[in-house]
Structure 1
Amino acid sequence: MTTDTTLVEQIPDLETSGRPKRARQKNLLFLRNSKAITGLAILGFFAVLAIVGPWIAPYDPNQISPDLVQPPSGSHWLGTDHLGRDVLSQLVVGTRSVLVVGFVAGVAATFIGVVVGVTAGFVGGVGDETLSALANVFLVIPQLPLIIIIAGQLPTAGGLTVALVIAATGWAWGARVLRAQTLSLRRRDFIEAARANGERTWRIVLAEILPNLTAIIAAGFVGTVTFAVLSQITLSFIGILPLDTWNWGTVLFWAQNNLALQRGAWWWFVPAGLCIAGLGMALTLINFGIDEFVNPRLRSTGMHARSLRRRKIRPRVGFTPVVHEAQEDRA
């Protein structure tokens, strides 16, 4: 009798001791994803550069010198422009404006989209129809032409104005997607069980629905940030935004207007293009990493990619290979 009681007491201990371990392993899956790590590393580099850029820039980006259109050298690592201004300083100082506009627009648009989309899908009825109609109105508003009109009417409009306009007009698509997903979740068994247990509405939304929308929210955020960054750079490149505030698009504007390509001054526009491509690649890799973390099938392929390559297994189209841990240990 004593032995049976001891065994019964030991079984729950074994189960509960394994659960925290599995939870910790699942939480570390995202940090073990090579795409996510690479994207976070590149984004972290730009974030640090945005924070400390004005203090570590070798020159004032507006400082004029007699070294006109000089190639990279020891005194100017990325050369100079047509007025002798240091290109490296312009890029370093302009990083802050690019990231601020991108992330302000991304956070604001994502917040509005989550509030409107989840509320419409969970509440239903007249509230759903009203919020859906509101989202449909903002969905057809052309963002870039509206930004050009507002920036043209406001000579002092800067990056923050662009971020707010993008946030005000860029939330509708994400709200529609979140509404559709919330409609499919609100009648699931675990939601009904939470209602039967007397859980409050805000508790159900925060603890049951939002965790299942992580991938969609993250994808919408990354897409909005990317669009905001490209919009600001485009508006600066065509001369719509004020040119007294440095960003990567401003560097390209001066390079284009002063025939940098015809002069062979590659150092004037290539580094700015590489910065834009690097930031876009970082955001894309983070998005891929989140998808692989949330989707179990993608997670299995992503986490065992090295093992699959070592055994020369190539995934086929429409076919997700799954490597069991026992097979991986034998390999």
Structure 2
Amino acid sequence: MTQAVITPVRGAGRVSALTRRPKFLLGAGIVAVYALVAVVGPLLVGDPHATGEDLLAGPSAAHLLGTTNNGQDVFAQLIVGFRSSLLVGLLAGTVTMVLAALVGVVGGYAGGWADEVLNLIGNVFLVIPALPLIVVAASYLHSSGIAVIALLIAVTSWAASARVLRAQTASLAHRDYVDAVRASGERGWRIVVVEILPNLYPILISQFVFAMIGAILGEAGLSFLGLGDLNSVTWGTMLFFAQNGEALSQGAWWWFLPPGLCIAVLGAALTLLNIGVDELINPRLRVQRRGRAQGDIR
């Protein structure tokens, strides 16, 4: 995500401008398809854990994406993986955004000792190496479910977002219209909710999308290493069992290629969403885009 000087937007009206950006629309369309499959798909396929007599069979009419070395249907696992992987991303993204907003917005607006304490907490989380901490904690918590993995990823990844929100909130807190509302006797929490928070919507959306990307890739990586919840069916656990079953050496491409492609396409779609949001809130990107467009006309 681009870290540049961000221009505040007055109200939530600018968020609607995202719908006019091709990159954002393409990414949103792909994510919408993924969400539809995640909601409806598991209801239309069988038990992903069910075994059969066809072991490591290729794609056929009976098994659209073949089977594993235990006779499990790869297509059923892939469809169920949509729901599991998206749930990880949504949960981790939501928790990350909430923690970052609480620490960043409250600290940026309050200032003083409250800001110092919250900033110290954020700095502590920033200097702690997240990856080793996640690996160590996941090795003890991998049997607790994908929700625990998502929360673990979120708790170790909110601090950078909080710094961005803190800086932007501190700038907005001293704008003329905020001073006017404060002088009228409006309560602090209402000023934050009504006057400041709407201007942070694009930044919050960007942080949420960025956190989703990291969470989905993080869960896939942990599961691939055997540190995820191996009792759940996710794209990461599919890759883990495909590696253990030596799918690559046996030419069983249908076992590891579909989940890998699903992760790659979803990551690309979320990145397009993030780029669309960055183009809205980053003035440098808007200027560059306008300059290229004028150059093409000439």
User: With structure 2 as the length reference, what TM-score do the two structures score?
Assistant: 0.87
Task: Please say if 1:161 is aligned against 2:148.
Answer: yes
CA distance in 2, matches of 1:26, 1:218: 12
Return the match for 1:125 from 105, 112, 116: 112
What residue in structure 2 maps to residue 275 of structure 1? 262
Deviation of the 1:236 alpha carbon: 1.0
Identical-pair percentage:
49
Indicate if the aligned counterparts of 1:104 and 1:163 stay in contact, CA closer than 8 A. Answer: yes
Deviation of the 1:253 alpha carbon: 0.9
What residue in structure 2 maps to residue 110 of structure 1? 97
Greater CA deviation, 45-54 or 244-253? 45-54
What residue in structure 1 maps to residue 187 of structure 2? 200
Alpha-carbon distance change, 155 to 301 in structure 1, aligned in 2, over 3 angstroms:
closer
Deviation of the 1:27 alpha carbon: 6.3
Q: CA RMSD in A?
A: 2.6
CA distance in 2, matches of 1:42, 1:152: 33
Structure 1: runs of 5 or more not aligned: 1-22, 315-331
Task: Please say if 1:253 is aligned against 2:240.
Answer: yes
CA distance in 1, matches of 2:230, 2:183: 59
CA displacement 1:232-283 (0-9 Å, x = unmatched): 1111111112322100011111111122111222111111111001111111
Aligned residues: 288
CA distance in 1, matches of 2:164, 2:242: 40
What residue in structure 2 maps to residue 323 of structure 1? none
Indicate if the aligned counterparts of 2:141 and 2:149 stay in contact, CA closer than 8 A. Answer: no
Alpha-carbon distance change, 193 to 33 in structure 1, aligned in 2, over 3 angstroms:
same
What residue in structure 2 maps to residue 173 of structure 1? 160
The amino acid that maps onto 1:200 is R
Deviation of the 1:300 alpha carbon: 7.6
The amino acid that maps onto 1:226 is I
CA distance in 2, matches of 1:72, 1:93: 18
Indicate if the aligned counterparts of 2:143 and 2:231 stay in contact, CA closer than 8 A. Answer: no
CA distance in 1, matches of 2:141, 2:282: 45
Deviation of the 1:313 alpha carbon: 4.3
Q: Kindly report which structure 2 residues correspond to 1:165-314, keeping only aligned pairs within 5 A, or say none.
A: 165-295=152-282, 298=285, 308=293, 312-313=296-297
Indicate if the aligned counterparts of 2:203 and 2:281 stay in contact, CA closer than 8 A. Answer: no
Alpha-carbon distance change, 77 to 25 in structure 1, aligned in 2, over 3 angstroms:
same
Return the match for 1:71 from 58, 62, 66: 58
Deviation of the 1:197 alpha carbon: 3.0
CA displacement 1:15-48 (0-9 Å, x = unmatched): xxxxxxxx99966532222111111111111111
What residue in structure 2 maps to residue 14 of structure 1? none
Indicate if the aligned counterparts of 1:102 and 1:224 stay in contact, CA closer than 8 A. Answer: yes
What residue in structure 2 maps to residue 18 of structure 1? none
The amino acid that maps onto 2:273 is I
The amino acid that maps onto 1:134 is I
User: With structure 1 as the length reference, what TM-score do the two structures score?
Assistant: 0.79
Indicate if the aligned counterparts of 2:81 and 2:233 stay in contact, CA closer than 8 A. Answer: yes
Task: Please say if 1:38 is aligned against 2:26.
Answer: yes
Deviation of the 1:49 alpha carbon: 1.5
Larger radius of gyration: 1
Task: Please say if 1:54 is aligned against 2:12.
Answer: no
CA distance in 1, matches of 2:153, 2:142: 18
CA distance in 2, matches of 1:146, 1:25: 40
